[in-house]
């Protein structure tokens, strides 16, 4: 058995009460350390890395609210890539958990809570679901995250990307996506894509699969030069007017450098309105 197959086997035996169940990390030296992306839920604090049977030094832990990956080039993807390149991570596991509060929070509730916290809705992107990558199914969220990671140009084909779920009450792990199976397949996405496409609501209909791999790259380098690409960026910028914003900004930059005095007066207004 390969590393994560052995991990899940040992995990199931341990959860079933087998006191001798465990993993011998030395047997899997070539597959360690692993990188895990999990939710920030504090209930997970005590579950990792023991649920995997790994010592702490072989466990690189990335966390964000909802273990969400919003795109193949997202900030979390960059951290995963750096963890592979800089810390020698050999395998990636995106591990969702049961009873995730992100999944249970509707957009209406989220908006209310943000408002309570003083967040100005008008300063946020129109499509907050796409922006935050919120989800209703923990399992489908893992499938989507694995798909983004597997298709990301930041992750080499040699790195297995697994999807798992952990039961918060018991620490029991279960497969969602076996990353070893998608490693060698030419069409890496063939296992996950049907389910991913079924998500629908989170942008699958916008060509997230293959198209998004290129759009962000073009958006970064050629936003002002090739506005035709702009209507399709994955997150936030859905409105055509946004295309015009980058054009308007460059001309304002030179004046800002030459006339540095004007900007300062702008800050005091909102910061000290009632002084
Ligand atoms: Zn969670």
Higher-confidence position of 95 and 259: 95
Please give the distance, rounded to the nearest whole angstrom, from the Cα atom of residue 194 to the centre of ligand 1: 24
The last residue of one of the domains, among 208, 229, 252, is 208
What's the pTM? Answer: 0.68
Please give the distance, rounded to the nearest whole angstrom, from the Cα atom of residue 94 to the centre of ligand 1: 12
- Supply the pLDDT for residue 197: 42
- Supply the pLDDT for residue 220: 39
Would you say residue 51 has pLDDT above 70? Answer: yes
Any residues with CB less than 8 A from the CB of 126 and at least 6 apart, and which? 236, 238, 239
Please give the distance, rounded to the nearest whole angstrom, from the Cα atom of residue 274 to the centre of ligand 1: 40
Residues less than 5 Å from ion ligand 1, measured at CB: 39, 41, 100
- Supply the pLDDT for residue 147: 97
Please give the distance, rounded to the nearest whole angstrom, from the Cα atom of residue 187 to the centre of ligand 1: 30
- Supply the pLDDT for residue 57: 96
The last residue of one of the domains, among 166, 188, 208, is 208
Residues 164 and 262 in one domain: no
Please give the distance, rounded to the nearest whole angstrom, from the Cα atom of residue 208 to the centre of ligand 1: 24
Read off the pLDDT of each residue in 246-271 and give the average, rounded to a whole number: 42
Please give the distance, rounded to the nearest whole angstrom, from the Cα atom of residue 18 to the centre of ligand 1: 28
Please give the distance, rounded to the nearest whole angstrom, from the Cα atom of residue 272 to the centre of ligand 1: 38
Please give the distance, rounded to the nearest whole angstrom, from the Cα atom of residue 148 to the centre of ligand 1: 19
Residues 98 and 233 in one domain: no
Given pLDDT bands bounded at 50, 70 and 90, which one contains residue 183?
A: confident
Domain contains 215:
no
Please give the distance, rounded to the nearest whole angstrom, from the Cα atom of residue 40 to the centre of ligand 1: 6
Please give the distance, rounded to the nearest whole angstrom, from the Cα atom of residue 95 to the centre of ligand 1: 10
The last residue of one of the domains, among 178, 208, 238, is 208
Which two structure tokens, joined as six digits, stand for 202? 């989170």
Please give the distance, rounded to the nearest whole angstrom, from the Cα atom of residue 96 to the centre of ligand 1: 7
Residues 172 and 249 in one domain: no
Residues 179 and 269 in one domain: no
**What DSSP string runs through the chain?**
--HHHHHHHHHHHHHTT-TT----GGGGGGG-SEEEEE---GGGTTTTTGGGT--GGGEEEEE-TTS---STTSHHHHHHHHHHHHH---EEEEEEETT-HHHH--HHHHHHHHHHTT--GGGS-S-HHHHHT--S-HHHHHHHHHHHHHH-TTS-TTS-EEEEEE-TTT--EEEEE-HHHHHS-SSTTTTTHHHHHHH-TTTGGGTTTTHHHHHHHHHHHHTTT-GGGTT--SSS--STHHHHHHHHHHHHHHHHHH--SSHHHHTHHHHSTT-
**Backbone φ/ψ region at 248: left (φ over 0), alpha (ψ -120 to 50), beta:** alpha
Given pLDDT bands bounded at 50, 70 and 90, which one contains residue 184?
A: low
Chain segment 64-115, per-residue pLDDT in tens: 999 999 999 999 999 999 999 999 999 999 999 999 999 999 999 999 999 9
Please give the distance, rounded to the nearest whole angstrom, from the Cα atom of residue 271 to the centre of ligand 1: 35
Please give the distance, rounded to the nearest whole angstrom, from the Cα atom of residue 43 to the centre of ligand 1: 9
Please give the distance, rounded to the nearest whole angstrom, from the Cα atom of residue 210 to the centre of ligand 1: 28
The tally of domains found in the chain comes to 2
Query: Residue 253's domain spans which residues?
Result: 220-275
Please give the distance, rounded to the nearest whole angstrom, from the Cα atom of residue 241 to the centre of ligand 1: 35
Domain contains 214:
no
Please give the distance, rounded to the nearest whole angstrom, from the Cα atom of residue 126 to the centre of ligand 1: 24
Residues 196 and 238 in one domain: no
Q: Which residues pair with 95 in a beta bridge?
A: 38, 164
């Amino acid at each position: 058995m390969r590393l994560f197959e052995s991990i899940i086997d040992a995990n199931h035996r341990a959860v079933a009460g087998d006191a001798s169940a465990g993993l011998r990390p030395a047997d899997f030296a070539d597959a360690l350390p692993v990188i895990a992306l999990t939710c920030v839920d504090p209930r997970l604090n005590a579950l990792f890395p023991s649920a995997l049977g790994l010592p702490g030094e072989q466990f690189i832990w990335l966390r964000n609210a909802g273990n969400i990956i919003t795109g193949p080039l997202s900030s979390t993807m960059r951290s995963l890539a750096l963890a592979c390149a800089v810390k020698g991570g050999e395998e990636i596991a995106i591990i969702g958990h049961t009873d995730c509060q992100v999944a249970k929070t509707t957009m209406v509730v989220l908006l209310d809570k943000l408002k309570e916290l003083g967040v100005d809705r008008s300063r946020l992107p129109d499509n907050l679901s796409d922006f935050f990558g919120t989800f209703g199914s923990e399992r489908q969220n893992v499938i989507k995250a694995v798909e983004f990671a597997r298709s990301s140009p930041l992750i080499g084909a040699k790195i297995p990307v697994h999807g798992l779920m952990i039961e918060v009450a018991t620490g029991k792990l279960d497969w969602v996506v076996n990353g070893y199976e998608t490693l060698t397949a030419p069409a890496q996405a063939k296992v996950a894509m049907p389910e991913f496409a079924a998500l629908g609501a989170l942008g699958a209909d916008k060509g997230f699969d293959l198209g998004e791999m290129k759009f962000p790259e073009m958006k970064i380098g050629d936003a002002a030069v090739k506005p035709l690409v702009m209507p399709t960026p994955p997150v936030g910028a859905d409105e055509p007017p946004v295309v015009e914003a980058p054009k308007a900004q460059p001309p304002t930059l030179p004046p800002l450098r030459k006339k540095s005095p004007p900007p300062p007066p702008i800050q005091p207004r909102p910061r000290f309105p009632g002084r």
